[in-house]
A and B are shown apart, each in its own frame.
Chain A
Amino acid sequence: MKKSGLSPILNYNINTPIVFVAIVLFFIIFTPNHLFIDLRNLASMGKLIPDLGIVALGVGMLMICGEFDLSIASLIPLCSYVFATFLMKGINPALALIILLPVGAALGFINGTIVVKTGLPSFIITLSTMMFWRGVVFILSRMAPISITKYIKPYPYFEKMLTGTIGRFPLQVIWFVGIAIILGILLHFTKFGNWIFATGSSKGAARAMGINTNMVKTTCYIIIGVLCAVVGTLQSVRLGSFFATQGVGFELKTIAAAVVGGTSLRGGVGSMLNIFLGILIIKIIENGLILMKVPVFGVEAFIGLAIILFVIINNFTQRQMT
């Protein structure tokens, strides 16, 4: 009765780690001079991947409970703008970040409340809020970047904590892995995590058993909002500036990462570890192809192909199981 890919006993999809290892080996072998495994390349990836990765973890978790959030693409620059504004007003960056977290939470709460109260498809709702907030950011910032380097300089510890390195090892990776572990524990080992899976797998059953599915969904949106605040800050500190175009494209890339990580579009199925690996797989393919001097347009095409392949494989192995 056991088929490859999905172990019915553990409920864990092993396609993703298998592909991860395969892709890593592939690029180690085939990039010119094995550049892929060069420490400078790894460090560079370590700085860039968490921007997408941190928020993708939250997006994946939301998909497990059955909803989507496209607005992250605009919440990130919005939070970054608010952060820059706080800095310009003379607020200590660490304090600014702390105040920003509940702001992100509030933005997530708005998304969650609209989704839950209207009962309309979250894909459409968050598409709308994405467009709305991006408009707000464009108007407020007048499309002009805001340099924040001079506000960060007096606080070297802040910059080190967020974007510093230990040797070559970028600290962003620690934030990324730390958040992945926390969310993973929440998802797989707590009551609330069971509620997330139950809500995504069968909202009707979850409600019949007394789970407040509205609260579960809204909480997932709030978590995403907080993650957007974190990423908005991380990104702008790393870049030294706020840009109104931060986060563009993230709305689909995060979903793609989750799907590559075996998350079902219907909800109820997924694993934080696999979402983490899915993020890595997508970014590694991007990085590896660039190192192999594949033209930029080609990279996008490859990633698109990879995603389609994944959906088909995951669907197939899931069907084998039932």
Chain B
Amino acid sequence: MSSNESNSNSKELLRMAGINKYFGKVHALEDIDFKINETENVGLVGDNGAGKSTLIKIISGYHRAERGQIYFEGKKVRISSPKDSRALGIETVYQEQALAPDLSISRNVFMGREPATALGFLRKRVMDEESMDALKSIGLQLRSPNINISTLSGGEKQGVAIARAFHFEAKLVILDEPTMALSVKEVREVFNFVNQLKRKGIAVIFITHNLHHVFTISDRIVVLSHGKKLVDIKKKDTNVDELSEIIVRGTIG
């Protein structure tokens, strides 16, 4: 089952063709074609070991595919490192991994990309102001840029990570299990942030195990299993039960 018709409203942003990835003898990804258009929200689902992590690590530059091509905004690209990926405008928000708990919001938002003078001195005022602006842009209200990340709730932490991606003018934001271990209220907060991204014209890949979440937030759903793409279908053309059945069976039914 596959629906390759492009969304007539928006241009193609990222296209991966014939991606193959091996870890030693393990064929982690087999002939994967994956596409996402501007402002589209694609949910990437599949059980553990399906290859979701591997696929996005290729997009974010941590791994390189052994075979296949990547096109970004229509042009063929090589993504050899996280820097390349970020330079294209791809930001990845990792579950638990993206924020340093002992640092402030401001220092976290700009981690690795600190605005500084020629001598390396931090432009603290710029960092503080812009991090607060970024939070506001996605609808997150926090007291001060200097509070520790560790004092924030799970939903707020995701908000900071998403605001960071937003600030660096991402064209594509990849969210890796953003709602894992969050309360119902926090999940709703995260959905609000993600919708703000869409409103600002940013494409989103949303990775999750939770089919209900994916149906709430995504336009299109891609299912991976054992390294192969099983399903690539618009949300409106299917439902939770059907998809759940497919995943469990691991095969097209």
Please give the residue numbers on chain A whose beta carbons come within 8 Å of chain B beta carbons, in ascending order.
8-11, 189-195, 197-198, 200-202, 204-206, 208-211, 264, 268-269, 321-322
Contact = CB atoms under 8 A, between A and B. Distances in A.
Nearest to A264: B102
A322 B100 contact: no
Contact of A9 (B99, B113, B116, B147): B147
Contacts of B146: 9-11
Contacts of B120: 190-192
B111 A205 contact: yes
B114 A8 contact: no
A205 B100 contact: yes
B150 A194 contact: no
A5 B122 CA distance: 26
B151 interface: yes
Interface in B139-178: 144, 146-148, 150-151
B97 A197 contact: no
Main secondary structure of the interface of B (DSSP, over half): loop
Contacts of A191: 114, 116, 120, 122
A247 to B, nearest CB: 31
Given A208-B82, A210-B83, A202 B99 contact: yes
B210 interface: no
B101 interface: yes
A190 B116 CA distance: 8
Contact of A8 (B92, B94, B110, B147): B147
Interface residues of B, number: 32
Contacts of A9: 144, 146-147
A9 B151 CA distance: 11
Given A198-B107, A322-B150, A210 B112 contact: yes
Contacts of A11: 104, 146, 148
Contacts, number: 86
Given A194-B111, A204-B97, A209-B111, A269 B121 contact: no
Contact of B103 (A10, A201, A264): A201
The 10 A-B residue pairs with the shortest CB-CB distance, nearest first, are A209-B112, A201-B100, A268-B102, A201-B102, A210-B112, A202-B100, A209-B111, A190-B120, A191-B114, A211-B112
Interface of B: 82-83, 86, 92, 94, 97-104, 107-108, 110-114, 116, 119-122, 124, 144, 146-148, 150-151
A128 to B, nearest CB: 29
A268 to B, nearest CB: 4
A2 to B, nearest CB: 11
B85 to A, nearest CB: 10
A192 B97 CA distance: 20
Contact of B122 (A189, A204, A322): A189
A275 to B, nearest CB: 16
A62 B239 CA distance: 54
A322 B148 contact: yes
B201 to A, nearest CB: 24
19 contacts: A190-B116, A190-B122, A191-B116, A191-B120, A192-B120, A193-B122, A194-B110, A194-B122, A197-B103, A198-B103, A198-B112, A201-B103, A206-B111, A206-B112, A208-B97, A210-B82, A210-B112, A268-B100, A322-B151
A198 to B, nearest CB: 5
Among B83, B108, B124, the most chain A Cβ lie within 10 Å of the Cβ of: B108
A208 B100 CA distance: 11
A101 to B, nearest CB: 21
A264 B148 CA distance: 15
Nearest to B143: A9
A194 B114 contact: yes
The interface centre, meaning the residue of A10, A201, A209, A211 with most chain B CB atoms within 10 A of its CB, is A209
Contacts of B107: 194, 197-198
Contacts of A197: 100, 102-103, 107
A84 to B, nearest CB: 36
B93 to A, nearest CB: 10
